[in-house]
Structure 1
């Protein structure tokens, strides 16, 4: 694709996705219960073939999908994104048996996935994970010429918090500390089915309408067969997943910003005020122009970062951080400005902007808060400067 524009077929797909979301997904989203997994909605995403794209499409197509759904149905967008976030480590690092068991169910919408990284004391500082993976029984030596039987065992003990889709997911990608005191180098990723003994959870009453909960792990048994990737290399699994999904979080934000902008254009063009239309007020017109400017700038950065990911560019972490930072901060600004220009009607329960106002806040925190994105950007810039020198 060109670096800074969508091809005509991509804009056509965006329009078709918006229509599909309005006709097939919005009615199911409206029937869902806030704070709970909407399984009929997830199943419909599977029937429409949209979940399969999480594992077959590139980052640009993922951004296009998320922006298009967000414009019309944020609930559908979030349900799709959480399936991808929770299951991508299985797709990228899982064994054939792990993939065969879970990925078909994720893509057809019959299994709900979750990404369990954050803890009460380790949110933005993901390398500070405290969830312990204590050796329960070492793997016995395999006979000469035989493969290990996967019987190495650990017990997971601790807590995860702020986990989307918890406690209702069917499986979790859980990150635990296998080597104490080793920072990021001592974390392992595990695929943990929800029915594993010792695993329990509770919902958290959050501003965001999608389900978020906490998990309690009390000596939960796992074996080598549950490891995703390599032991003590789980931080790479987490960061690789976030490098893919951070630009698409930006696409989610752009979709919300565009919806707020379009609602504002329609409102200000039709609203009578001070002897004319609201759009005739220069302060209003300039505000709308600023909203459009920032939305388009964020969109360009999001798709440039996604294209860099698809091309395997070396600066993906910096570009992904920039895209998420700019797009989520922009969406917050645009939605807030749209509320201001609509007045009190925008704060009425059920109004599009009331919904977006609640939805737009969380993306500035999850998958790395805005402050963390700035740290990533600065660290990468100085590393590039030192390498060049």
Structure 2
């Protein structure tokens, strides 16, 4: 049983506690023996299941409700809980939010009304198309172009490492419109799947089974009304979206770490070594203590960042970067200790600890690699 005492912290209200109970109960019943052999098909099934449980409604604002907003603490609770039960379920949920985050935050009423009901109901899958072969961490170096041609923009270039890339129905895409050099010359667009000149068929296989793809654009035309915000707003929009969702990546890492700790506590209590339970060994106790410390420290950073955003802070770049850096790096440490405590079982294909070991590594790279988070933290701290 995962530790739930953190829900008594002052970061949360009763709505969040009820959500945590609901998601945990649902996940325990529904996320059992999920087949990861075909991640594209699995994600489509998981999105449908999440929609039927009304969990996707939290991934975007309700365009029919003027008071609707993204609740970052709810997003983090959901990602932590889903990750603890099944990594692909967390992925499927997260992409519905990240893929439409720019529409929720900056879209016109017409854009919100067209797409958000579809993604919130699971009728459309979404993707966030930012990374390129030469511009992953260096967003300002995006090379893909969007050239104005009358009432349209013409897209040329490629994106890579795009989650949901081969199965999404709608993409938030960032391209260079050229208003200024570097970051000030980027714009954001809504791009539906299946347009002429748009190919998303090249899958990318990675250590944990997720649907990733390379996208190519050659003379792909989209209406000028597809732009989110104004020309040149792309970098600001991308960073604002990451400001919200970076904390949720940290929450997913926290969920992986909690599961690793839970499995390790069970292991050392049941397994005997030298005539006594493993838990009686001081070295083992030291590992468990380190793991518990990393989990609680991560949780404090995650939910501080989420709480600050929900309380109205315009930007939480420093706090979100701290949460993502610490939670992902230390989840890696926690899971590595879990593998060690499980011995041979820890590297047996199909064991939960082995799957956690593969799942956690990508979180230290996507939505801002650990080294980039250090740059963000340093710059923000030096500017204070």
Say whether the fold is shared (TM-score over 0.5). yes
Report if aligned partners of 1:177, 1:186 keep a CA contact under 8 Å in 2. yes
* Separation (CA, whole Å) in 1 of partners of 2:9 and 2:233: 33
Which structure 2 residues correspond to residues 150-229 of structure 1 after superposition, within 5 A?
151=151, 153-179=152-178, 182-201=181-200, 202-229=202-229
Question: Cα gap change, 1:379/1:255 in structure 2, threshold over 3 Å: closer, same or farther?
Answer: same
TM-superposed CA distance for 1:158, in Å, is: 0.4
Q: Give CA-to-partner distance per residue, 1:256-307, whole Å, 9 cap, x none.
A: 1000000000000110101101011100101110000011000011000001
**1:314, CA displacement in angstroms?**
5.3
- SS of the equivalent of 2:166 reads coil
Aligned counterpart for 1:49 among listed residues 30, 51, 54: 54
The residue number in structure 2 matching 1:299 is 299
What's the CA shift string for 1:87-132, capped at 9, x where partnerless?
Answer: 1111222222222221111011111100000000000001100001
Q: Residue 4 of structure 1 contacts residue 300 of structure 1 at CA under 8 Å; is this kept in 2? A: no
Work out the CA distance in 2 between the residues paired with 1:31 and 1:356. 13
Report the equivalent of 1:141: none
SS of 1:52's partner is helix
Deviation at 1:11, TM superposition (A): 4.1
Instruction: Find the aligned partners of 1:12 and 1:263 in 2 and give their Cα distance.
Output: 25
Structure 2 contact 36–42 (Cα < 8 Å) conserved: no
- Unpaired runs of 5+ residues, structure 2, are 1-6, 62-69
C-alpha distance in structure 2 between counterparts of 1:111 and 1:133, whole Å: 24
1:387 match: none
Tell me the distance in 1 between the aligned counterparts of 2:11 and 2:199.
46
**Mapped partners of 2:267, 2:15: distance in 1:** 30
The correspondence for 1:26, drawn from 5, 14, 32, is: 32
* Distance change in 2, residues 1:168/1:9 (3 Å): closer
Q: Which residue number corresponds to residue 96 of structure 1? A: 109
Q: Which residue number in structure 2 is paired with residue 68 of structure 1?
A: 81
User: Once structures 1 and 2 are overlaid, which stretch shifts more, 54-63 or 193-202?
Assistant: 54-63
Cα contact 1:4–1:304 (8 A) shared by 2: no
CA contact (8 A) 2:103 2:111 kept: yes
Q: Identify if the C-alpha distance between structure 1 residues 301 and 32 changes in structure 2 by more than 3 Å, giving closer, same or farther.
A: same
Match of 2:274 in 1: 274
Report the TM-score, using the length of structure 1 for normalisation: 0.91
Question: Which structure has the larger Rg?
Answer: 1
Q: 1:9 to 1:278 in 2, by over 3 A?
A: farther
Asked if 2 retains the 8 angstrom alpha-carbon contact of 1:3 and 1:303, the reply is no
Instruction: Tell me the CA shift for residue 55 of structure 1.
Output: 2.3
For structure 1, the residue ranges without an aligned partner over 5 or more in a row are 138-150, 385-389
Query: Structure 1 CA distance, aligned partners of 2:306 and 2:109?
Result: 28
- Any conservation in 2 of the 1:36–1:210 contact (CA below 8 Å)? no
How much has 1:31 moved relative to structure 2?
6.5
Please give the alpha-carbon distance, in whole angstroms, between the structure 1 residues aligned to 2:265 and 2:183.
Answer: 47
Cα displacement string for residues 41-72 of structure 1 (whole angstroms, at most 9, x for unaligned residues): 10111111100012254111111111111111
Partner in structure 2 of residue 39 of structure 1: 44
Q: CA RMSD in A?
A: 1.8
Alpha carbons 2:132, 2:160 under 8 Å: kept: yes
Deviation at 1:220, TM superposition (A): 0.8
The aligned residue for residue 66 of structure 2 is: none
Compute the displacement of 1:15 (Å).
3.4
3-state SS, counterpart of residue 361 of structure 1: helix
Alignment length (residue pairs): 369
Alpha-carbon distance in 2 for matches of 1:97, 1:314: 24
For residues 36 and 142 of structure 2, what CA distance do their matches in structure 1 show?
Answer: 37
CA deviation string 1:230-271 (max 9, x = no partner): 111011111111000011111100011000000000000110
Q: For 1:217-240, what per-residue CA distance to the aligned partner results, in whole angstroms no more than 9, with x for missing partners?
A: 001112221101111101111111
The aligned residue for residue 325 of structure 1 is: 325
Paired residues of 1:305 and 1:316 also in contact (CA < 8 A): yes
Within the alignment, does 1:80 sit opposite 2:93 as a pair? Answer: yes
